[in-house]
């Protein structure tokens, strides 16, 4: 059985087990002591441990994989004058798709009016963390201590240091080639470690989803149905129609083939709800299924996992309209333009900050004078939507890497059009 099929089966079984347990927990069909024992030792015990170990093992591979791959990829382009334009294309595409994403979200939310008639009272409090100023982000992109940056998983700093090292190695002649041979050997070892972890993925995916759905069930969705399905619809619209159009128009490639190729990364992103944890899979998919050159994927994919926030931008757009309607606040055209600009720039400004989606949303709400505590209204369904928007973010990373590779003649068309698993 194919690995992707195993993961899909594990995903469905996890959701089924989680929802079933949630229903039993809220009913009187099973004695309470039995439910409590199962909850303590299986859901919050075994499943939580397995899920956390799975996500941690994926994150464990991110820093070595990004560092090694990016040094190798950049060194291959070190004497190539296309390095700057390639980076410019990637960043521009990320910013354009993010602005489209939040614009679509605002338009759709105003058409649906998900917050009209919503009770704004809530017992849950949300305290927003302050996002760093944009100038501070640019200053802190350069690491004062590369080892510390790797220890903390600061992706922007790792990217900057790796690019600099790759360029330097390409310019020091024979000694640089000797070091690159070590990196090439290390890359083979790291990719083998990733492959080993991938075979354990079905177990991790099952545990993650079983625990999640045992907590939220399906009632949380019905309580915020208008908001939930508006966000979900825009996410699917953007992730299929917009990305598919970009692939067809700018990449001159089949959108259907693209989505088939990127399927494993989408599944992993949905399961882990973490773009960073999905980087190993995204890079493997880009190189082995999409035919993207390693010199492109090693730069564009980690960069996208750091600054590409299309799915998060969609949540922010709908949530802003929802909270404004729930609190009976009129934002106006100028306010919506502020939201679009702030969220687009914040996709870079809050890169690498834990809980980035809600932090960015609190910043956007403050910019247009909306109460930050309104975020508490949507917390019940945010975890589930986070899984979908992470899938959209990862699909966007793959889309940009494919288009950039195609524009630089660094895409293997044979690999892209081959049906492989």
Mean pLDDT of the chain: 81
CB half-sphere exposure, 24, CA atoms < 13 A:
17
Q: Rounded to whole angstroms, how far apart are CA atoms 138 and 142?
A: 8
Q: Rounded to whole angstroms, how far apart are CA atoms 347 and 166?
A: 26
Higher-scoring residue by pLDDT: 319, 27: 319
| The pLDDT of residue 28 | 65
Q: Rounded to whole angstroms, how far apart are CA atoms 107 and 320?
A: 12
3-state secondary structure of 292: strand
Residue 351 reports pLDDT greater than 60: no
| The pLDDT of residue 380 | 65
Residue 163 reports pLDDT greater than 90: no
Secondary structure string (H, E, C) spanning 181-240: HHHHHHHHHHHHHHHHHHCCHHHHHHHHHHHHHHHHCCHHHHHCHHHHHHHHHHHHHHHH
* Distance, C-alpha 183 to centroid of its chain: 27
Q: Please tell me the CATH code under which domain 3-417 is placed.
A: 1.10.3860.10
Q: Are the CB atoms for 415 and 288 separated by under 8 Å?
A: yes
Q: Is the pTM of this model over 0.85?
A: no
DSSP assigned state of 350: T
Give 168-180 pLDDT, tens digit per residue. Answer: 888 887 888 888 8
User: Which whole number is the average pLDDT over 131-157?
Assistant: 77
| The pLDDT of residue 133 | 61
Higher-scoring residue by pLDDT: 50, 65: 50
Q: Rounded to whole angstroms, how far apart are CA atoms 108 and 106?
A: 6
Q: Are the CB atoms for 290 and 258 separated by under 8 Å?
A: yes
Q: Rounded to whole angstroms, how far apart are CA atoms 32 and 304?
A: 46
Q: Tokens 């000797």 correspond to what residue?
A: 178
315 CB-near residues (< 8 Å, 6+ apart): 105, 231, 357, 361, 382, 385, 389
Between vectors from CA 105 to CA 365 and to CA 128, what angle results, nearest 5°?
Answer: 25
DSSP assigned state of 420: -
Instruction: Sketch the domain layout of the chain as residue ranges.
Output: 3-417
Q: Rounded to whole angstroms, how far apart are CA atoms 297 and 141?
A: 20
Residue 149 reports pLDDT greater than 80: yes
Give 217-237 pLDDT, tens digit per residue. Answer: 666 666 678 888 999 999 999
Residue 216: which pLDDT band, with cuts at 50, 70 and 90? low
* Distance, C-alpha 127 to centroid of its chain: 23
Residue 396: which pLDDT band, with cuts at 50, 70 and 90? very high
Residue whose C-alpha is closest to residue 342's, from 307, 366, 325:
366
3-state secondary structure of 151: helix
Give 237-289 pLDDT, tens digit per residue. Answer: 999 999 999 999 999 999 999 999 999 899 888 887 777 778 888 988 999 99
């Amino acid at each position: 059985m194919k690995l992707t099929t195993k993961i899909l089966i594990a995903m469905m079984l996890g959701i089924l087990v989680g929802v079933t347990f949630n229903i039993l927990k809220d009913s009187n069909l099973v004695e309470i002591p039995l439910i409590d024992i199962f909850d303590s030792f299986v859901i919050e015990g075994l499943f939580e441990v397995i899920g956390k170990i799975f996500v941690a093992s994926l994150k464990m591979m991110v820093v070595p994989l990004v560092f090694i791959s990016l040094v190798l990829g950049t060194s291959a382009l070190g004497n190539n004058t296309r390095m700057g334009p390639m980076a410019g294309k990637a960043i521009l595409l990320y910013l354009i798709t993010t602005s489209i994403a939040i614009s679509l979200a605002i338009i759709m939310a105003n058409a649906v009016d998900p917050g009209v008639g919503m009770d704004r009272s809530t017992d849950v409090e949300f305290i927003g963390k302050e996002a760093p100023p944009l100038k501070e982000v640019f200053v802190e992109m350069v690491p004062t201590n590369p080892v510390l940056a790797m220890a903390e998983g600061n992706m922007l700093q790792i990217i900057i240091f790796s690019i600099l090292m790759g360029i330097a190695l390409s310019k020091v002649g024979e000694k640089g080639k000797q070091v690159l041979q070590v990196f090439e050997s290390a890359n083979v070892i790291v990719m083998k470690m990733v492959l080993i972890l991938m075979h354990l993925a079905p177990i991790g995916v099952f545990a993650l989803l079983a625990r999640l759905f045992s907590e939220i069930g399906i009632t949380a969705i019905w309580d915020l149905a208008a908001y939930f399905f508006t966000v979900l619809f825009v996410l699917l619209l953007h992730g299929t129609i917009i990305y598919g159009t970009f692939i067809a128009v700018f990449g001159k490639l089949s959108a259907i083939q693209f989505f088939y190729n990127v399927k494993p990364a989408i599944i992993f992103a949905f399961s882990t709800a973490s773009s960073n944890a999905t980087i190993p899979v995204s890079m493997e998919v880009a190189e082995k299924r999409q035919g993207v050159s390693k010199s492109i994927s090693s730069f564009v994919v980690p960069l996208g996992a750091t600054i590409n926030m299309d799915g998060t931008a969609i949540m922010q757009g709908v949530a802003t309209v929802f909270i404004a309607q729930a609190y009976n606040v009129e934002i106006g055209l100028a306010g919506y333009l502020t939201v679009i600009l702030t969220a687009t720039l914040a996709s870079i400004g809050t890169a690498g900050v834990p809980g980035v989606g809600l932090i960015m949303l609190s910043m956007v709400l403050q910019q247009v004078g909306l109460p930050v505590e309104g975020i508490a209204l949507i917390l019940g369904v945010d975890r589930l939507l986070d899984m979908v928007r992470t899938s959209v973010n990862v699909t966007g990373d793959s889309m940009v890497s494919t288009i950039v590779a195609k524009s630089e003649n660094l895409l293997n068309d044979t690999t892209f059009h081959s049906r492989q698993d």
